[in-house]
Amino acid sequence: MNLLSLAEPFDPKDIEWRIAQAGKKGDGKIWAKVLAYITSRAIMNRLDDVCGPENWRNEYTTGPQGGVLCGISVQTSPGFWVTKWDGADNTGIEAIKGGLSDAMKRAGVQWGIGRYLYNLDEGWAVV
């Protein structure tokens, strides 16, 4: 198992985009700044591919001020697990599901999964 493979770029079909900011210019044209992200399913697939489905697990707990923490554990040798944690607030839409998913994505970044997406230039959508 090569854990450095967790950090490899994703196939473009696995990358999704969301609007981070939007507005209207003085001339009436709409603008939108977009950010790339991956889903928690893409993270699960990457962990399955690199580690094997039996060699990773995740767990959740309540964050220190609400929200949720996710720990992703990888079995690096028989019986030896390494866990990396991160968390997120519950979201405004589907609060608990969104919080669980965001915490999983953030914990994945702790393992290097999708971390390169934070270094991409800002994107602008045509509206």
Q: Which residues contact 5 (CB under 8 A, 6 or more apart)?
A: 49, 50
Q: What percent of the chain has pLDDT above 90?
A: 61
Whether 91 has a pLDDT exceeding 70, the answer reads: no
Distances (CA, A) of 92 to 24, 63, 78: 24, 17, 41
pLDDT of residue 63: 83
Determine phi and psi for 103, rounding to 5 degrees: -65, -40
Q: How far apart are CA 115 and CA 26, in angstroms?
A: 36
pLDDT of residue 39: 92
- Give the pLDDT band of residue 78 (cuts 50, 70, 90): very high
pLDDT digits (tens, 9 = 90+) for 93-106: 665 677 788 899 99
Determine phi and psi for 114, rounding to 5 degrees: 75, 5
Reported pTM: 0.83
Decide if 32 contacts 125 (C-beta within 8 A): yes
pLDDT digits (tens, 9 = 90+) for 11-49: 999 999 888 899 988 888 899 999 899 999 999 999 999
Whether 72 has a pLDDT exceeding 80, the answer reads: yes
